[in-house]
Structure 1
Amino acid sequence: MDLRARIDASPMHPYQWLIVALCVALNLLDGFDVMALAFTANSIRDDFGLDGATIGILLSAGLIGMAVGAFTLAPVADRFGRRPLILASVALATLGMALSAAAGSAWQLGTWRVVTGLGIGGILACTTVIASEYSSGRRRGLAISIYTAGYGIGATLGGLAAVQLQNEFGWRAVFVTGAVLTGLVLVLLFVALPESIEFLASRGRPSDLSEVNRIAVRIGQDPVEKLEAGTGPEENRAGRATELFSLRHRRPTLLLWFAFFTTMFGFYFVNSWTPSLLETAGLSKDQSATAGMMLTLGGAVGSVFFGVLAGRGSTRGVLIVFTVLSALSMAVFIASTAILMVAFVLGILIGGLINGCIAGLYTLAPSLYGPRLRSTGVGWAIGVGRAGAILAPTAAGVLLDLGWTAEQLYIGVAGVVVLAAIALTFLRPAVPGKPATAASSAAAVTGSSALGARAPR
């Protein structure tokens, strides 16, 4: 058995869980960052004298930066390594948060929000991959689900912290806190985060052997004797986005993008508009806010529950079930507001199911690509998903202006989410049952077939 297969078959070593925990910490910061601006928007508007449209642009600036970062920075990781790009991206996010705190105008704040988003986009593309690569086959779904749940936890804690900090010290303190926390995580990453074994193996330089064996010992595995040089055709195409459209990868890539776009569309619609639409449907302001918190609570639980189920069966099969149930729950949710407790229970259910869908996509995506295309493939899928995230709140607002009711909106978005289930039904690996790269098939320590063996079925 090569090292990749041994990692896949062995129980998770504490150091592997530490790697997952570092990735979770980065996703927590993503949630904190997003909610930091959402909860300080009114203070920023009053400070700079902004109108609603400008606040909307500021809220979107970070998401735009994330999408651009996922598209442009992810390929760098496939050429130069996951660890260097994660460190650079975290440093960029730290800088963006710090400069946001010092912004003297809306234009400056928007610029630094984009910079922060660029860093987070690079982080998301790499952490998803490295958490997947260091997880065992049995625990991969659970590890990625815990990682995904970090966003909801970070969003909740970020919202609570933002309220307290701005009440005591003003809105700038929220971004100072974010910069300090991100900087502390950067130090931890520099000390504890290893490079991807699969990246080192697929690159196959003579100097990489000692690094692979040093990491192997830390995760409780025996060293290997040699690495195969990365001389295959995909070695020279590492990190090229055009490779995603090759005959081999085009179909799974386009289906994955479609699933990411439609699922993220539904996810951000639910999280952005639910409190407001529930208030329109007759609930009080406090009741609507409570229902919004139910979505967040359900999200954390649902992500982990997805991982437990995926560890016992097919990731793709469980993901399709979660997607269909998400759509059904959305279709009946808004009609349940007459019975408050039912609405709250359905809110938890929707939050759990739609977050489970995100966890499933993050688990599934790395299995579709070889080591030298993996960050690029995952990063571009996340970028396309962020495009759906950006479009969802805007499209909902336009449809409301055109006279759509809350019930029609939820049913319409449920239909969009069903399209994700259809795409997933047809999704298969690029070359089922074979390693995803020619170079990696002969490598002494790698082979992406092991990574994907439990995923798409």
Structure 2
Amino acid sequence: MITFDKTRVYIAACIGMMFFGVAFIVMGSVLPAMTLKYGLNEIQSSSLVTFLPIGVLVGSLLFGPVVDRFGYKSLLITSTVLVGLGLLGLSYFDDFNVLRLFIFIIGLGGGILNGETNAIVAEIYSGDKSASKLSLLGMCYGIGALGVPLILSFFSAKYSYEVILRWTTLVILLSVVYFSFTKFPESKYKQGFPIRSALKLIKEPVLLLMGFILFFQSGLEGLFNNWSTTYLINANIGHDEALLALTALVAGITVARLLLSYLLTRVNTQYILYAGLLILAAGIAVLNYAGSFWGGAVALFIVGIGLAGVFPIVIGRIGTLYKEMSGTAIGFALFIALSGNSLLNLLMGVVAKEYQIAVFPVFLIVCVAIQGLLILISKKHMN
């Protein structure tokens, strides 16, 4: 039996989650510069960005059986290298099809990092402690996600985005040294992976219920990230101000998860989930009447606070309920969650075309209400 230091493993998970934040945000941050450099039209830009969530979706589905069968260390190193190589590819290659491949690789590595780091923490901690540590882990995503646009805005006057991506790659690849000298939990199935048991999880009612809570959670996060700027611009807020207001969303999630890391070991998780829904609804109400930059920023900051609790609580609970196959169970739940992100954003596009973007807050409230009902149904499984 390999003994491991929980603190060292947790730090490794936090580093990995930071890099997922980098991977998930980087395309949105460098796309304007890439569009200018290559003279891309809207369709070409959209086709590039599409490969990132596809990669994340594939990585989220694949990581679970791999970590349950082979353990965390090799896959954590591999996924980190994938993100680094993807960023490096964006900085060196000009061929459009090759760029698509590297964007997919960034998404694939990021999807694996997201799932694996959550699974590591859910395995080494249990119960409310797990949710608390997962909340701090989520804060690390916010650090990585906020770091990319800040670094680019600070250094872009002097250095090209290609040079900045190469520096970022160097930092990412240096972390492999730390991972290499850290002992991780052993694999659960050294003699072969139980495929039949894994397939049974797909029909497990409790896992499906929690997966669909995350379906709406991920969908809501995606909706706010992708449509809030359009809604604010439609409310006569300038483009640059609308983009700046969007950073308040990540800031709200990051600050709230720091606070939740304390509250989750002291307050019933069900109360935290209900409070989050009320805060989220309040943020949407403020957004509905936002007519200025500060109105939009305050609304999205409140929304961020409301969104912060669901992922760490639900992922922690899944890890506790399905301890023997935690990686596979969490991977399946994340696959459902990311599907929600894609489908709800697609549905919002149809609704916006039919009824205009002004209906955005109504669409959000409907999603929140359905998620609230699912949380209510799952009450006995959350405690």
Shared fold (TM-score, shorter chain, > 0.5): yes
Does residue 251 (structure 1) correspond to residue 187 (structure 2)? The answer is no
Does residue 359 (structure 1) correspond to residue 312 (structure 2)? The answer is yes
Does residue 108 (structure 1) correspond to residue 59 (structure 2)? The answer is no
Which residue in 2 is equivalent to 1:439?
none
Q: CA deviation at 1:79?
A: 1.1
Q: CA deviation at 1:339?
A: 6.8
Which residue in 2 is equivalent to 1:306?
260
Does residue 191 (structure 1) correspond to residue 181 (structure 2)? The answer is yes
Q: How big is each residue's C-alpha offset from its partner over 1:377-425, in whole Å with a ceiling of 9 and x where there is no partner? A: 101211221222233444333332223233x212212211322222222
Mapped contact 1:64–1:117 kept (Cα < 8 A): yes
Does residue 379 (structure 1) correspond to residue 379 (structure 2)? The answer is no
Mapped contact 1:323–1:417 kept (Cα < 8 A): yes
Q: Return the alpha-carbon distance in structure 1 between the equivalents of residues 64 and 140 of structure 2.
A: 21
Q: CA deviation at 1:138?
A: 5.1
Mapped contact 2:272–2:309 kept (Cα < 8 A): no
Q: CA deviation at 1:324?
A: 4.5
Does residue 346 (structure 1) correspond to residue 299 (structure 2)? The answer is yes
Mapped contact 2:21–2:145 kept (Cα < 8 A): yes
Partner SS, residue 304 of structure 1: helix
Mapped contact 1:74–1:379 kept (Cα < 8 A): yes
Q: How big is each residue's C-alpha offset from its partner over 1:255-288, in whole Å with a ceiling of 9 and x where there is no partner? A: 1221111110101111222123112112233442
Q: CA deviation at 1:165?
A: 4.1
Does residue 282 (structure 1) correspond to residue 236 (structure 2)? The answer is yes
Partner SS, residue 168 of structure 1: coil
- Pick from 53, 58, 61 the counterpart of residue 63 of structure 1: 53
- Greater helix share, structure number: 2
- Pick from 364, 376, 379 the counterpart of residue 425 of structure 1: 376
C-alpha root-mean-square deviation of aligned residues, in Å? Answer: 2.7
Which residue in 2 is equivalent to 1:127?
117
Which residue in 1 is equivalent to 2:217?
263
Q: Return the alpha-carbon distance in structure 2 between the equivalents of residues 167 and 40 of structure 1.
A: 14
Q: How big is each residue's C-alpha offset from its partner over 1:81-115, in whole Å with a ceiling of 9 and x where there is no partner? A: 12222222222222222222222222211111111
Q: Return the alpha-carbon distance in structure 1 between the equivalents of residues 129 and 68 of structure 2.
A: 24
Larger radius of gyration: 1
Which residue in 2 is equivalent to 1:152?
142
Mapped contact 1:67–1:118 kept (Cα < 8 A): yes
Structure 1's 134 and 148: CA in aligned 2 closer, same or farther, altered over 3 A? same
Mapped contact 2:122–2:316 kept (Cα < 8 A): yes
Structure 1's 110 and 262: CA in aligned 2 closer, same or farther, altered over 3 A? same
Mapped contact 2:215–2:336 kept (Cα < 8 A): yes
Structure 1 gap segments, 5+ residues each: 4-12, 206-229, 433-455
Mapped contact 1:304–1:356 kept (Cα < 8 A): no
Structure 1's 172 and 324: CA in aligned 2 closer, same or farther, altered over 3 A? same
Structure 1's 339 and 108: CA in aligned 2 closer, same or farther, altered over 3 A? closer
Partner SS, residue 50 of structure 1: coil
Partner SS, residue 371 of structure 2: helix
Q: Return the alpha-carbon distance in structure 2 between the equivalents of residues 162 and 239 of structure 1.
A: 47
Structure 1 stretches of 4+ moved >6 Å: none
Structure 2 gap segments, 5+ residues each: none
- Pick from 229, 237, 240 the counterpart of residue 194 of structure 2: 237
Does residue 88 (structure 1) correspond to residue 45 (structure 2)? The answer is no
Structure 1's 330 and 404: CA in aligned 2 closer, same or farther, altered over 3 A? farther
Structure 1's 324 and 75: CA in aligned 2 closer, same or farther, altered over 3 A? farther
Q: CA deviation at 1:361?
A: 2.8
Structure 1's 377 and 281: CA in aligned 2 closer, same or farther, altered over 3 A? same
Q: Return the alpha-carbon distance in structure 2 between the equivalents of residues 313 and 388 of structure 1.
A: 29
Which residue in 2 is equivalent to 1:28?
18
- Pick from 411, 422, 442 the counterpart of residue 362 of structure 2: 411
Which residue in 1 is equivalent to 2:166?
176
Letter in 2 for 1:107: N
Q: Return the alpha-carbon distance in structure 2 between the equivalents of residues 149 and 275 of structure 1.
A: 23
Partner SS, residue 308 of structure 2: helix
Structure 1's 42 and 285: CA in aligned 2 closer, same or farther, altered over 3 A? closer
